[in-house]
Amino acid sequence: MIDIDELEQLVKTRRSIRQWQEKDVPEEVLKKALEIAVNAPSGMNYQGWKFIVVKNKEKIEEIADSVKNRIRMFAQWPEAAKYIDDPEKMVENAGFFKKAPVLIAVYSQIYPSGRDGVYLERMSHDEEAKKMKSWLDLANPRIQSAASAIAYLLLGLHAQGLGSVWMTGPMQAKGDIEHILGEFEGYDLVALIATGYPAETPKEKKMRPFDELVQFVE
């Protein structure tokens, strides 16, 4: 069993990395991290995830360009100037992962639950059912399961000296990315992970006080 202090050190030293060395990442390193990821907890152990590993530079660039194009469209909307301080900077930064040695696309399968059918029928005439379903939707097991696997993946990569960044912004180009990588029936793209050997040393991140985040109830 891993020493708890070693685990704490691993977690606390992980950082989001956005610049990488032009160095190949061996397949066995990626496989080891993904082996850890697929052993993450999932709702009812349904393991509804799929990881697509991309090392082809042209394909990574194509994905980055598709994301940048969508963000450019977003930045041109009149509403963007109202809510975003610098829309053009968003466009400039959107494809930063173009030079990542590896891109891992995370797909998630719809969570099979009979209770959804119950709520679907019940909500048409029961306000309490609507309320309960809204609460349940806040804890989407499909996304929670994928998130747990991603967290394990990031730690598995970090433990082997890689630096990664978990991205959900590219989901604005979900359809374009799925067209590039392929569509898998019953699965949806939910996140992208860019990884490689770090070419930067990120600053120590400021953490909120523990007592502000954790409360014990007697």
* Domain assignment present for 5: no
176 domain-assigned: yes
Q: Which domain holds residue 102?
A: 14-213
pLDDT at 48: 94
Residue 88's pLDDT is what? 87
* Joined tokens for residue 139: 């804890």
| Domain assignment of residue 100, yes or no | yes
Q: Is residue 55 part of a domain?
A: yes
* Distance (Å, whole) CA 69 – CA 63: 10
The CATH number of whichever domain residue 113 belongs to comes to: 3.40.109.10
- What pLDDT, in 10s, does the model give residues 68-105? 999 999 999 999 988 988 888 899 999 999 999 999 99
For position 202, what pLDDT does the model report?
A: 86
Question: CA-to-CA distance for 105 and 107, rounded, in angstroms?
Answer: 6
Q: Which of these, 4, 21, 20, lies nearest to 12 by C-alpha position?
A: 4
Q: Could you tell me if residue 183 is inside a domain?
A: yes
**Signed CA dihedral, 80, 85, 91, 94: sign only:** negative
Residue numbers in the chain where pLDDT is lower than 50: none
pTM assigned to the model: 0.93
- Kindly state whether residue 6 falls inside one of the protein's structural domains: no
- Are 178 and 189 contacting, i.e. CB atoms less than 8 angstroms apart? yes
Q: What's the half-sphere exposure (Cβ side, CA atoms, 13 Å) at 141?
A: 16
What's the domain count of the chain? 1
- Asked whether residue 127 is assigned to any structural domain, the reply reads yes
Residues 6+ apart with CB under 8 A from 16: 164, 165, 166, 202
